Amino acid sequence: MRMSSVTTAVSGLLLAIAAGTVHAGATFDAVKKRGFVQCGVNTGLAGFSVADEKGVWKGIDVDVCRAVAAAVFGDASKVKFTPLTAKERFTALQSGEVDVLSRNTTWTVVRDGSLGISFTGVTYYDGQGFLVKKKLNVKSALKLNGATVCVGSGTTTELNLQDYFTSHKMKFKPVVYDTSDETVKGFEAGRCDVLTSDQSQLYALKIKLAKPDDAVVLPEVISKEPLGPAVRQGDVEWFNIVRWSLFAMVDAEDLGVTSKNIDEMKKSSVVPDVKRLVGTEAVKHGLGIPDDWAYQVVKQVGNYGEIFEANVGAGSPLKIARGLNALWNKGGIQYAPPIR
């Protein structure tokens, strides 16, 4: 959209004007001084980040930002959200408009290496899939030769789509839209046969359709899409805080600590790992944040399993199975280093 070009141009200008050098700790210092975390999220993606009728942001990406705020300030509400389109997101992070980008963004080497940003971890292991209308009677993505495909602009999805069709010697016609709302409208009107996106998004978009039962998600997953939060390069302290905010939630699930039982655990648990997590046994973490940071994260936001179930899992309309996002010892690959 036009907006994004304007934002980009303005951000470019900001980069040009912003004087002085970036020193280590700049982001963390700025956040502490400001008193809240500025977090870039999706403009509206059910389960990941969506604003309800009162303007309160909800979703798994939103909870990651709240966890960072809880770790830094001991208060998960000290965070403000900036909704960003796929096109705007990196410029917004680069120019300092947001401190954390937690916006279902795929971690790739190019983004880590040449955009001046670093991914801190993986919130959600995703993969790209296809949504088709049932009446086409297509059971496999390999039968999509010659199809027209709706896709969001400026995403890894666009590139994977091409790679998949090329490697299977199939042809397709792309229709590239700017926002996911337009993509759904185009798909619904029949402008394209197929809608492609990360699988998690397909489920979210499917429930937006007028008749969700008329469409079906194909079984093929054609790419690896590890979605995670990213920060600007040049502030290792800040990088670590964001990274460990997510780790704390995964560790808590691993240890069976939830937002509900954490106070009890804090009082009674004798397990050293739990005591280190809730802060009853001191850990010289050197992150520059309060010692009860992990306690605050789990108490106020929840453990990883809790935020998953509430936002995208069984407790949500999306009902996505844990799959790859189950813990490493429960058949998934979610794993976090220990707090010690």
Give yes or no for residue 321 binding other proteins (CB under 8 A): no
**Are the beta carbons of 318 and 46 closer than 8 angstroms?**
yes
Task: Out of 2, 54, 169, 284, name the contact with other proteins by CB under 8 A.
Answer: 2
- Residue 332 CA to its chain's centroid (Å): 18
115 binds other proteins (CB under 8 A): yes
Min CB(92)–other proteins separation in Å? 11
Cα 225 to its chain centre, rounded Å, is: 11
Binders of other proteins in range 129-188 (CB under 8 A): 136, 144-148, 153-155, 158-159, 161-163, 166, 172-178, 182, 185-186
Q: Are 70 and 300 in contact (CB under 8 A)?
A: yes
The DSSP bridge pattern shows strands 215-217 and 128-133 to be: antiparallel
Asked if 84 contacts 103 with a C-beta cutoff of 8 angstroms, the reply is yes
Q: Which of 86, 68, 90 is nearest to 77 (CA)?
A: 68
Question: Closer to other proteins at the Cβ: 30 or 136?
Answer: 136
Among 52, 53, 54, 114, binds other proteins (CB under 8 A): 114
Phi/psi region, residue 192 (left: phi>0; alpha: psi -120 to 50; beta: rest), is: beta
Helix axes 180-189, 199-206, angle to 10 degrees: 60
Over the window 88 to 107, marking each residue x when it contacts other proteins by CB under 8 A and - when it does not, the resulting string is --xx--x-------------
- Interface residue with other proteins, options 54, 190, 282, 329 (CB under 8 A): 190
Closest CA to 91 of 180, 2, 9, 30: 9
Distance CA 33, CA 331 (A): 42
Residue among 138 and 277 whose Cβ is closer to other proteins = 138
The runs of H, that is alpha helices, within 175-235 are 180-189, 199-206
Residue 196 binding other proteins, by CB under 8 A: no
Site string for other proteins, 209-248 (x = CB under 8 A): -----------------------xxx--------------
Q: Provide, rounded to whole angstroms, the least separation between the CB of residue 335 and other proteins.
A: 28
CA-based nearest residue to 152, from 179, 130, 129: 179
Q: Which is nearer to other proteins, 8 or 259 (CB)?
A: 8
**Residue nearer to other proteins on the CB measure, 34 or 173:** 173
Does residue 28 bind other proteins (CB under 8 A)? no
Residue numbers at the binding site for other proteins (CB under 8 A): 1-2, 4-5, 8-9, 11-12, 15-19, 21-22, 86-87, 90-91, 94, 110-111, 114-116, 136, 144-148, 153-155, 158-159, 161-163, 166, 172-178, 182, 185-186, 189-191, 193, 232-234
